[in-house]
Structure 1
């Protein structure tokens, strides 16, 4: 996600981006992307970064000027058209199917020790880590085919003006471009060759460069952090990230709830969106029907509404602070619930541990 704190894969998922990359067979061909060139804002950015880091300004200018301006990236970063319907059932079906569950089972079996160690060290259950890595990249099978330098430079210097938060997002991507260049320098990577998502997210967990530098950990103990090729580093880094976002060990992620019939009460309860805001007592006072476990919950709760199209009732849950922590990875209740339910599905398929 691209919302503060600098997280990972935007509010758009990698899978959606990859699906969108497939152009219709008879689509009109577009001219090949052109280099950004030495535009003034690019040169100023390069000179400032070179001054801050001691790098060669001319070489940095040349590297950035040669980055390609990608029209496809500008298109993919735009939000869905207003009025586009969200359907939880369809969203869930994209991520929770037999192939992904089978892959999750195999990944868990192969990396059981690292997952157990991450849970012990950071308090994040293995199934949550499994859910995130499965939704983000299908356990490393789909990590993105865009050259990250081109993608980030496009969004840093040619961000689509029609985006409702263009100035904020462009500033974000300029920061991430600087973080990416620092990451490459620190890790001996060729910035012109690194590949990731259209938004610049990297590796198995799809960390943005700033998140990699701030939250990624060397969990396999080999002296370096490699989120591209080390599943252990990816596992530990996801757990560390969630712990830093306030994950509470042993707390559940959500409860069932029935909202009150009164429209005004429903609107008040849904207004804060995914941020935990209400106590159990406040929810009861508004007329919500809570499960026994939810009534006993100590801490704030969010009323989460997942739409199911115009003809089906919405799915409604109460999100805890741990549900909120997952949305720090990607600012979406649909995403968080898919992560949770994929992890649960994989856990349910695992054979019981021998006694």
Structure 2
């Protein structure tokens, strides 16, 4: 008898919880719907057409998952030595080499025009979207609207939303095909809408900047981004090095730049212990992503450029490592 009473009580509690959650969901949906209408009014005042707005918001929905991911972005608990084999497994290195050969003629043309070594274009492509095979399954308008509605970074995500509406209004992509990450990063290059506006290129000349489906546009857009943020095609991205005993860690970090000869005078060597290249036209920083017992890099100008793309030393190391695997196949 007692078990029946407890069971009925639990059922009652669960029913009340379910009703409460349902009411909360309905309240959120109502507030979200009102927010969308307010956004439309604001967009009209910013000269977006009714046609654009009707198409863009036709199937807009609230993404609870996007809010959860934005609030709980995971922190790395790995080291580079454990992260790199996951980010660049052997199959990905091999595929990168195959993709490089497959698109070599186009890549070399783009690379020459923008002053970017093609292997870095392929490496970025591979790290960002596995060579275009996974570009994200979120509707970009819905994701950006949801994150603006959430309010923690409303100004940022509203700005991205306006750019996304411009992209639709200018005819670069149909709203239903504007797919991306939970944060609104789009296409094979994973550009945020603002990056699209600044760097996307209509390289195939069809009147659309198609970073979703056009290899010429994808490669040229990536190269244009790098070229615009200080890329150099006469140097690599960086190199793994060894530090001497007692190295002053306060000298590490991207804010400290020294000539290679100056680092050599301080006892920094190549990873194999040999001397650094004798080039005083190159300045570099010592970067210690984990600690002095882990991987240490001399970071060249291209390292800084890659940090503009994604401000993660792990991301840059993965792109650099994959580019090296393309350059020196095993």
TM-score after normalising by structure 2: 0.80
Give deviations 1:72-116, integer Å, cap 9, x for gaps: 11122236567x523112321222223212322332222111100
- What is the match of residue 170 of structure 2? 186
How many residue pairs align between the two structures?
302
Q: Distance in 1 between matches of 2:236 and 2:172?
A: 40
* Change in CA separation of 1:193 and 1:322 when aligned onto 2, cut-off 3 Å: closer
Deviation at 1:260, TM superposition (A): 4.7
Task: Work out whether 1:303 is the aligned partner of 2:286.
Answer: yes
Task: Work out whether 1:67 is the aligned partner of 2:51.
Answer: no
Q: Distance in 1 between matches of 2:146 and 2:315?
A: 26
- Gap runs ≥5 in structure 1: 1-29, 160-165, 351-355
Task: Work out whether 1:104 is the aligned partner of 2:84.
Answer: no
User: Which secondary structure does the structure 2 equivalent of 1:53 belong to?
Assistant: coil
Contact 1:100 1:134 in 2 (8 A): yes
Q: Distance in 2 between matches of 1:98 and 1:81?
A: 25
After TM superposition, the structure 1 stretch with the greater mean CA deviation from structure 2, 184-193 or 170-179, is 184-193
- What is the match of residue 55 of structure 1? 49
Q: Distance in 2 between matches of 1:108 and 1:91?
A: 24
User: Which secondary structure does the structure 1 equivalent of 2:234 belong to?
Assistant: coil
Higher helix fraction: Structure 1 or Structure 2? 2
Q: Distance in 2 between matches of 1:235 and 1:156?
A: 30
- What is the match of residue 190 of structure 2? 206
Q: Distance in 1 between matches of 2:131 and 2:109?
A: 18
Q: Distance in 1 between matches of 2:63 and 2:191?
A: 21
* Change in CA separation of 1:81 and 1:116 when aligned onto 2, cut-off 3 Å: closer
Aligned counterparts, 1:149-188, within 5 A: 149-159=141-151, 166=152, 169-187=153-171
Corresponding residue to 1:196 among 169, 180, 190? 180
- What is the match of residue 232 of structure 1? 216
Contact 2:172 2:209 in 1 (8 A): no
Deviation at 1:202, TM superposition (A): 1.2
CA root-mean-square deviation: 3.1
Deviation at 1:138, TM superposition (A): 0.8
- Gap runs ≥5 in structure 2: 1-20
Deviation at 1:134, TM superposition (A): 0.4
Q: Distance in 2 between matches of 1:210 and 1:233?
A: 16
TM-score after normalising by structure 1: 0.75
* Change in CA separation of 1:66 and 1:234 when aligned onto 2, cut-off 3 Å: closer
- What is the match of residue 11 of structure 2? none
Give deviations 1:162-184, integer Å, cap 9, x for gaps: xxxx4xx4322211111011101
